[in-house]
Amino acid sequence: MTTTIGTPKTRPAVGIVSTGSYFPSQVITNAELAGPAGVTEEWIVRKTGIRTRRRASPDQATSDLAAVAAREAVARAGVRAADISLVIVGTTTPDKLGPAVACMVADDLGCPISTAAFDVHAACSGFLTALATAERFLAGTDGHALVIGADAYTRFLDPADRRTVVLWGDGAGAVVLGPTEPGRREILATKLLSDGSVSELATIPAGGSRLPATHGTVDGRAHYVHMDGRAVSQVLQERVPGLLDEFLKENDVEKAEIAHVVMHQGNANLVAHLGELLGLENARAHATAPVYGNTGSASIPVTLDQAVREDAIRPGDLVLMVAFGAGMTYAFTLLRW
């Protein structure tokens, strides 16, 4: 079943005040992965377009990555922790099954008890899902929200599984949302969808209430990511073009108007192929996958932050953000920078 959430255009402007990102220092090369995965470095680049990724250090968890990115975004926004009324973290790899990563980040930043904090679990659509949620929370107020995408997928990868181990890296990205002038970094529209009928195409089978940890689940490698990449790619090619067309039509936007595309970085080749398939060849497609791999919920905010650091997005540019993830989940956002 598919559900949609649209953002009415009559609401006061809420926009992105600042961005931030963080990557661990340890670099994972293709040479490191190729042998255990039974492939060559050339095979990895040919299949994925990814050359390096990052790995969190043994003493770092997802909340640590998220907190660094969050502190950077907050500092750039020029706001205090006391000014933040909401912290949402999109993640599929929390430190623990509980508490929420967002609560730990809020505490790390020194946010007051009046700050609401929670996580959203929408796989690689997590950041845009959190962004849509925060925008609705702030509508009609002068408050600020901290929205973070963070994942440490390298903790959940089977070194011998070439379908998954070559894809993911660790990282975190964050934005501060707040009141903006209309048309100035403004969130114009959001849309969230889902299709649980294909939920088994990408999953971590064990560790939840259906398959709690046992010797059997550990021995069976059920705590690692399992994904049918070919089937996922087929679903995306069949579904995303039509869903995007509907989203743009609902908001009276032509593809020729879009100046920038920030897409989930599933892998570098997929991003390039989907960009062409979506008919967005005239828009600048920003990419971080070749250097950082698939950073899960972090991939869109870190890619947006890179574009901001490069001063690539000019005032007035129309920015489209597109996410898709296990579930399957889909998310779209339009920004007027």
Question: Could you list the active site residues?
Answer: 124, 264, 294
Q: List, as one string, the DSSP characters of 250-284.
A: HTT--GGG--EEEE--S-HHHHHHHHHHTT-TTSE
For the CA atoms of 129, 90, 112, 61, what is the dihedral angle to 10 degrees? 180
DSSP 285: E
Alpha-helical (H) ranges within 60-125 are 62-77, 101-109
Between helices 41-48 and 30-37, what is the axis angle to 10°? 100
CA gap 46, 40 in Å, rounded: 10
CB atoms within 10 A of CB 130: 31
CA gap 191, 131 in Å, rounded: 10
Q: Which residues contact 76 (CB under 8 A, 6 or more apart)?
A: 18, 19, 20, 176
Q: Which residue has the tokens 């089978």?
A: 205
Q: In what order do the strands lie in the sheet with 170-179?
A: 116-120, 84-90, 144-152, 170-179, 14-22, 186-194, 329-336, 318-325, 260-263, 284-286
